[in-house]
């Protein structure tokens, strides 16, 4: 058995020196695409490959949009300056929407919270 392995190994080493060359092929230039050729990648293959292709295309679109956004970053729109006026009192006639609305348990919780806040203040 050992001799057989050694014989196979030595034969393999001797055959390594013999390289198999490729056949010479003539190349002709093509001036136009095939007339009736359809893109074989479109719609063929298992659903997992179509999903992977669609995911890749969406990722490329997101990257293209992000790249365009980064390039347009210099053209940012500034915030508008607005004047701020101070208010000295609450709105007159404005009803607090929380007063009296909701189920009794919420009113009870609100009242309890208000009493606690007054106690702590």
Q: pLDDT tens across 20-52, in order?
A: 666 777 888 877 776 666 555 555 678 888 899
Proportion of the chain above pLDDT 70, given as a percent:
70
Q: What are phi and psi of 90, to 5 degrees?
A: -70, 165
pTM of the model: 0.29
- Closest of 51, 28, 53 to residue 39, by C-alpha: 53
Asked if residues 57 and 51 have their Cβ atoms less than 8 Å apart, the reply is no
Asked if residues 43 and 50 have their Cβ atoms less than 8 Å apart, the reply is yes
């Amino acid at each position: 058995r050992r001799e057989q392995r050694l014989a196979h190994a030595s034969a393999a080493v001797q055959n390594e020196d013999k390289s198999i060359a490729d056949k010479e092929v003539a190349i002709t230039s093509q001036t136009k695409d095939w007339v009736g050729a359809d893109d074989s990648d479109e719609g063929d293959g298992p659903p997992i490959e179509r999903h992977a292709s669609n995911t890749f295309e969406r990722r490329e679109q997101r990257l293209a949009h992000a790249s365009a956004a980064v390039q347009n970053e210099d053209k940012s729109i500034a915030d508008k300056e607005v004047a701020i006026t101070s208010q000295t009192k609450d709105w007159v006639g404005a009803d607090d929407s929380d007063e009296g609305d909701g189920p009794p348990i919420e009113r009870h919780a609100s009242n309890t919270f208000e009493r606690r806040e007054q106690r702590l203040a």
